[in-house]
Amino acid sequence: MRNRMRILPLRARASRDVAFGRADYVPTACEPNPLAERGLPRQNSAVKHLLAAGREPSGLLAAMRNRRARALPLTPRKAQEIDASQLYRQGLKPVAGGRVSAPPRFPMWWSRMNVRFITLLCLIFGAMFVAASPANAQAPGVTSPDSSSANIGERVSRDVHEIYAKGLEFLTQTQDERGTWPAGEGVGPGTTGLAVLAFLASGEDPNFGPHRDVIRKGLRHIIAGQSAVTGYISPSMYHHGFAMLALCEAYGVVDDSDLYPPGERESQRSLAVAVELAVRAALTAQKNNRRGGWRYAPNASDADTSVSGAVVMGLLAARNAGIEVPDESIDRAIDYLVSMTAEDGSVGYTSASEGGGGESVARSSIVNLVLAIAGRKELQAYPLTLQYLVANRDAEPLWPEYARYYQAQAYFQSDVAVWKQWNDRLIQRLKRDQKPNGSFDGDLGVTNSTSMSLLALAVNYRFLPIYER
């Protein structure tokens, strides 16, 4: 028969405590104790029956009997003599005759329950005090940009999962044998890099998950288009920037021991070598640039904020992956981007004069994001671009998929509350615009538009190291 726990009455618990050597319980004088009058401990019923039959208990019963024999008998504690003057000094009053009984001692379970109850009350009132303290008070309508409590442990909505899964399925079905995707005039390693980033950002294991082969084919295509001498990933620094970002994000999570089929590993570059070569090419191109940025050609002397943003984000990702990137290079790129920022927070394309009053949601997002990732929020360009982005969060920018890719990251890095509102509207829009096959149309071509739309949603997952806040 299955044993069941039962709640013992107070008197039975007292007998149990004493029987197991816990003699700190003292019963009141009203409790009968016939065995104590004869100086005998209480006996278990089984032990009683054995003794009555003239048999000595053995085994477990003998151990229980011996254990009880070592316990103190249940005898009432005698009243203690208390001096009346001593009671008066303690603020107490003596009873008649100057005698007072000692205070009753409660069972151990009662003391433990009181301690837990008091501890719980202290925690509740302490939490209420901290929440109501002036240091934690916040003015109505003011958000805390650097608060990360709003983005920890949250669930990703079903809409995001469905949109993302359909988009990845489209990219899986349209990848060609070379490992890249058709993108019209934009085909190249940059397009491949954006698609690979979309798969890496999904949170699926890149080594054992369902997309491991797609990711490896894409990485092989990027490395195949890289110069083994200069590290340049042609055909432009635009492609180089996005491809370098994909290599750096994959460098920390992809096991490249099986990046290539057996027999080809020895003759191919590893991810680590490819990342270092890509960083070297970006640094060399910047040294030849008089403005400290980058343009489409690696030997260009002028620069624009769009290409420069793609390359500097790749360099920041390389630094985050443990690759050495000189501070001088990051500082020069930041100085260039700050010089392109106008007083109203808009950012020019090739000259600062193009910024003032013009539409620059994408470029302002680039500058704001770079300053946040680089840890340079103290610069005046950071609050200016943030103010511009908040004021224009409902605007319809040119190249919308491209702008959303940077907007999502900039809002998330600067102000979580603003990002949440903007992200909710983005989810509904992408849910409406997504094609039945999972793709998105856009001016950048179907592959780039799909990849950048998914990457704007990928901030919800926060798996890419560059998305960490």
Those residues of the chain that have pLDDT short of 70 are: 1-123, 125-154, 183-186, 354-358
| Closest CA relative to residue 218, chosen from 250, 263, 241, 186 | 250
Q: What is the predicted pLDDT for the residue at 263?
A: 82
Q: What is the predicted pLDDT for the residue at 88?
A: 46
Gap between the Cα atoms of 263 and 181, Å rounded: 26
Quick check: 25 and 103 in contact, CB under 8 A?
no
Tokens 């050495």 -> residue? 324
Q: E strand or H helix at 12, and its extent?
A: helix 10-19
pLDDT digits (tens, 9 = 90+) for 424-445: 999 999 999 999 999 999 989 9
The residues, any chain, with a CB within 8 Å of residue 281's CB and separated by 6 or more, are: 227, 230, 231, 232, 233, 240, 298
Give the residue extent of every domain in the chain.
14-77, 78-125, 158-467
Assessment of whether the complete model's pTM goes beyond 0.95: no
Tokens 């008091």 -> residue? 118
Tokens 């079905």 -> residue? 173
CATH number of 158-467: 1.50.10.20
Beta strands in 43-159 (DSSP E): 80-81, 99-100
Long-range residue pairs from 153-158, CB within 8 A, at least 24 positions apart, any chain: 156/460, 156/461, 157/427, 157/460
Tokens 């294991």 -> residue? 205
Q: What is the predicted pLDDT for the residue at 29?
A: 41
Q: What is the predicted pLDDT for the residue at 324?
A: 95
Burial class (CB within 10 angstroms; exposed 0-12, middle 13-18, buried 19+) of 441: middle
Tabulate helix, strand, coil % of the chain (nearest 5).
55, 0, 45
Q: What is the predicted pLDDT for the residue at 381?
A: 97
